Amino acid sequence: MTTTPVRIGLLGCGNVGAAFVQLVERRHDEIANRHQIDLQITRVAVRNLSRERAVDLDEAVLTHDADAVVHDPDIDLVVEVIGGIEPARHLTLSALKAGKPVISANKELLANLGAEIYEAAGDAGVDILFEAAVAGGIPLIRPLRESLAGEDIRRVVGIVNGTTNYVLSRMAEEHVSFGEALAEAQELGYAERDPTADVEGFDASAKAAIIASIAFGVQVVAGDVYREGIAELTPGDLSFAARLGYVVKLLAIAERFDTPDGAEVAVRVHPAMVPEHHPLAAVRESFNAVFVEGAAVGDLMFYGRGAGGDPTASAVLGDVIDAALNLTNGRASRLSRLSEATIRPIDDLRSEYYINMDLADRPGALATVAGVFGDHGVSIRAMEQEGMGAEARLVFITHGAVESAVQSTLAAVRDLEVVDRVGSVLRVVGGDDS
Ligand SMILES: NC(=O)C1=CN([C@@H]2O[C@H](COP(=O)(O)OP(=O)(O)OC[C@H]3O[C@@H](n4cnc5c(N)ncnc54)[C@H](O)[C@@H]3O)[C@@H](O)[C@H]2O)C=CC1
Ligand SMILES: N[C@@H](CC=O)C(=O)O
Ligand code: NA
């Protein structure tokens, strides 16, 4: 059996990079046998040569000069698992311009500067593949790009950040503190180098932008995504949600609307109350799940490990094999053309809402608050009251209402003399009206 050597330049050897090296070692012979390619990790760029790392690498393979790896004539294909914008951007562009396919796990780069990267790949006629960048080990990008290429996708809803899902699971189920749960997620290799990216929803927004671009064929960048993170959530919100039959999840939602003036796209990331019987409520710890709603295919669900070295390395390796086979056959996967997007702002979107507030426990207070909701056309579906001495905590769940109407309602309610505090406001997703 003859095999074609494919020499890989690996940029970054952290959680994903080290897991990738180990996976290639484990799977090498089987891949050679099945695909007739001999995957060789020829050079590995690291930031710190002397740092202990999870894999044993020959000193001759290691370098701290990532540019030299990209330009090395002995490198056929580049894997970028450094993360962040620079130097990842210029390394990726240099590799593509040199005619080398790039496999990237870098959602931040692709969601902010994807157009530049895809154009460079198109001009050079080489692959840019990034299955690992969205929902880790779950095959999602390839199904969207290939299997669903002809589908009219209307909506994608999912849990796409493993760290925050892990934190929320640990807080809700084990009553672990936010800080402790986040430290565990970091220790397990789920979190970004700066976990603010996870906690504040930036990572999920980047993934949502990539999903929306591919699902709807339009250019959506991270800045187009409405974003709220989980940092403001309290243990009280999670237990109140549980009492009402909901689970709190950080969701990414991309929707496409047809209007007489053309299509509009709305993309958002925010914590949401999901009914406990909804399939997304059962997605725990670092698992991710993504629902895709298509006009012809109906509903699809993708589920699996969205973060962690091994699952992510699996996605990287799948792309490496694809690109290596393309390389040996002189081909490249074509990216579809992305047209300009018209973004529908969050203010115009409809949702059900969970709102909690503290108000004076005296006759008429509730009627006053309810009146303000009515004046703004926001109709209340359910309400719970819990007395607290001179105060009462009220929890409302609304029927579907437009965001701008809810925000005006909240502004007016905050001004009421009987209202001491408006607490958490969470959208409800997966209920009767959403
Ligand atoms: N950890 C996970 O579960 C997942 C991570 N990703 C993405 O994969 C990428 C890597 O993530 P991790 O491995 O978790 O991060 P990490 O922080 O563990 O690894 C990145 C490595 O790159 C090294 N590095 C930084 N600058 C460098 C340079 N100029 N040259 C060479 N090496 C350099 C760092 O020293 C570090 O070892 C990121 O884009 C991340 O968003 C994607 C999916 C899942
Ligand atoms: N930090 C990310 C890693 C995978 O993309 C996450 O927690 O999902
Ligand atoms: Na994936």
Residue-averaged pLDDT of the chain: 95
Q: pLDDT band at residue 50, thresholds of 50, 70 and 90?
A: confident
Is pLDDT above 70 for 322?
yes
Question: Which ligand sits closest to the CA of 250?
Answer: 2
CA 307 to ligand 2: nearest atom: 4
pLDDT computed for residue 79 by the predictor: 99
pLDDT in tens, 175-230: 999 999 999 999 999 999 999 999 999 999 999 999 999 999 999 999 999 999 99
Whether 100 sits among the annotated catalytic residues: the reply is: no
Read off the pLDDT of each residue in 5-22 and give the average, rounded to a whole number.
97
Cβ atoms of residues 301 and 275 within 8 Å: no
Read off the pLDDT of each residue in 113-128 and give the average, rounded to a whole number.
96
CATH 3.30.70.260 maps onto the chain at 346-428
> Which letter does DSSP use for residue 116 in this model?
H
pLDDT computed for residue 363 by the predictor: 85
Is pLDDT above 70 for 434?
no
CA 197 to ligand 1: nearest atom: 41
For residue 11, say whether it is annotated as part of any ligand binding site. Answer: yes
Question: Which residues, 6+ apart, have CB-to-CB distance to 59 below 8 Å?
Answer: none
pLDDT computed for residue 191 by the predictor: 98
Give yes or no for a cis peptide into 260 (omega within 30° of 0): no
Is pLDDT above 70 for 162?
yes
CATH of region 4-136+309-336: 3.40.50.720
Pocket of ligand 2 (CB under 6 A): 136, 161-163, 190-192, 198, 203, 306-307
CATH of region 346-428: 3.30.70.260
Cβ atoms of residues 363 and 411 within 8 Å: no
**Amino acid symbol at 245:** G
Cβ atoms of residues 96 and 117 within 8 Å: yes
pLDDT computed for residue 432 by the predictor: 66
- Classify residue 38 as exposed, middle or buried by CB count within 10 Å of its CB (0-12, 13-18, 19+): middle
pLDDT in tens, 239-285: 889 988 999 999 999 999 999 998 999 999 999 999 999 999 999 99
Q: pLDDT band at residue 22, thresholds of 50, 70 and 90?
A: very high
Which of 63, 70, 81, 102 is the best mutation target for the ligand 1 pocket, counting ligand atoms within 8 Å of the beta carbon and taking the most?
A: 81
Read off the pLDDT of each residue in 306-335 and give the average, rounded to a whole number.
95
pLDDT in tens, 363-389: 888 899 999 999 999 999 988 887 666
- Decide if domain 148-304 falls under CATH 3.30.360.10: yes
For residue 100, say whether it is annotated as part of any ligand binding site. Answer: no
Instruction: Please give the full DSSP string across 323-378, using - where no structure is assigned.
Output: HHHHHHTT--PPPPP-EEPPBPPGGG-EEEEEEEEEEE-STTHHHHHHHHHHHTT-
For residue 308, say whether it is annotated as part of any ligand binding site. Answer: no
Picking from 65-79, 218-232, 390-404, which range would have the lowest pLDDT averaged per residue? Answer: 390-404
pLDDT computed for residue 11 by the predictor: 98
Is pLDDT above 90 for 361?
no
Distance in Å, CA 135 to ligand 2 centroid: 7
Q: Nearest residue CA, atom 4 of ligand 2?
A: 307
Picking from 143-147, 372-376, 430-434, which range would have the lowest pLDDT averaged per residue? Answer: 430-434
Cβ atoms of residues 333 and 149 within 8 Å: no
pLDDT computed for residue 51 by the predictor: 79
381: enclosing H helix or E strand: strand 380-388
CATH 3.30.360.10 maps onto the chain at 148-304
Distance in Å, CA 141 to ligand 3 centroid: 6
Strand partners, 157: 253, 291
